Amino acid sequence: MLAIIGGSGLSQLSSLDIERREVVRTPYGDPSGALLFGRIGNEPMVFLARHGYGHTIPPHKVNYRANIWALKQVGAEGIVSVASVGGIRADLVPGALVVPDQIIDYTWGRAATYFDGHDSKVVHVDFTDPYSAPLRQRILAAAQRAGEAVFDGAVYAATQGPRLETAAEINRLERDGVDIVGMTGMPEAVLARELDLPYAAIAVVANYAAGRGASLHGIAMHDIEDTLHQAMGRVRAVLQNIPAE
Ligand code: HPA
């Protein structure tokens, strides 16, 4: 069973026939909401809205440990994250879909490990390749079947938020080699790795990053919402093609 974590713009999945919902508690507290069980195509899926079903949990307050733990606990075998991002690389314009292959973590103060030394031993997971290569390939193949163009590979920066970045911060991220910037990719990805859950992401470029493209006069939330709204239809089409292996 595959899990889908929906981000901004995807707090429900109309293509998922919901069969039941389940409230799951974890040793790390409560996940962002009930888990929704259903199917895409013939394949069982479990869905969780990262920011809650009313979109009320900001990126720095998401209980990432509870979310990933809950998905593992109910038997998820992999996680596809849907996340909205700002585009830094010139070709990653609003509306683009991107399957990133690397991460730089700029977040701070988040509970970012299950191995925090209380009664577990010290564990250093390998994170050379933060995303699962086979799961990335599955997403890319699904996009091809859906006829949706996606960019294969990008460096994702996770910033703390909830504010957007300054123009100088975006310049720094670009010098660091970053292509897209979002607020939730970490610690989500590493927690999945710690639990041995393959994890990959579909990033939706919602806006030009600060100081880029047409955002000379700042970034308007209503533009972001419009872009996300139309792009999420395409993300759903990709997700629907994931089972057809
Ligand atoms: N910066 C950080 N996170 C984001 C952005 C952005 O410009 N757009 C959507 N999520």
| The pLDDT value given to residue 219 | 80
Q: Please enumerate, as own/partner, the contacts of 40-44 that have beta carbons within 8 Å and a separation of 24 or more.
A: 40/13, 40/15, 40/16, 40/239, 40/240, 40/242, 40/243, 41/240, 41/242, 41/243, 41/244, 42/243, 43/1, 43/2, 43/242, 43/243, 44/1, 44/2
* Complete DSSP assignment for 70-124: HHHHTT--EEEEEEEEEE-STT--TT-EEE--EEEE---SS---S--SSSS----
Average pLDDT, the chain: 93
Report the separation in Å between the CA atom of 87 and the middle of ligand 1, taken as the mean of its atom positions: 8
Q: Torsion over CA of 30, 32, 36 and 42, rounded to 10 degrees?
A: -110
Answer yes or no: is 70 a known binding residue.
no
Burial classification of residue 1, based on how many CB atoms lie within 10 Å of its CB (0-12 exposed, 13-18 middle, 19 or more buried): middle
Q: Which two tokens stand for residue 17?
A: 């026939």
Report the separation in Å between the CA atom of 217 and the middle of ligand 1, taken as the mean of its atom positions: 16
- Binning the chain into helix, strand and coil, the percentages to the nearest 5 are 30, 25, 45
Tell me the pLDDT tens digit for each residue of 107-125.
Answer: 999 999 999 877 778 889 9
| The pLDDT value given to residue 213 | 87
pTM: 0.95
Tell me the pLDDT tens digit for each residue of 177-214.
Answer: 999 999 999 999 999 999 999 999 999 999 999 999 86
Give the mean pLDDT of 10-15: 68
Give the mean pLDDT of 71-75: 98
Per-residue pLDDT for 17 more than 80? Answer: no
CA 92 from chain centre, in angstroms, equals 17
What length does the chain have?
A: 245
From 8, 163, 165, mutation site for ligand 1 pocket: most ligand atoms within 8 A of C-beta:
165
Q: Whose CA is nearest to atom 7 of ligand 1?
A: 86
**Structure letter (DSSP) for residue 186:** H
| The pLDDT value given to residue 217 | 67
Answer yes or no: is 60 a known binding residue.
no
Which candidate, 16, 15, 8, 23, places its Cα nearest to that of 55? Answer: 8
Confidence of residue 137 (pLDDT cuts 50, 70, 90): very high
The angle, 0 to 180 degrees and rounded to 10, between the axes of the packed helices 221-240 and 133-146 is 90
| The pLDDT value given to residue 162 | 96
Per-residue pLDDT for 245 more than 70? Answer: no
Tell me the pLDDT tens digit for each residue of 23-72.
Answer: 999 999 999 999 999 988 778 999 999 999 888 999 999 999 999 999 99
**Geometric angle at alpha carbon 13, from 151 and 236, rounded to 5°:** 30
Check if the beta carbon of residue 203 is closer than 8 Å to that of residue 85. Answer: yes
Per-residue pLDDT for 98 more than 60? Answer: yes
Tell me the pLDDT tens digit for each residue of 150-177.
Answer: 999 999 999 999 999 999 999 999 999 9
Check if the beta carbon of residue 55 is closer than 8 Å to that of residue 8. Answer: yes
β partners of residue 78: 2
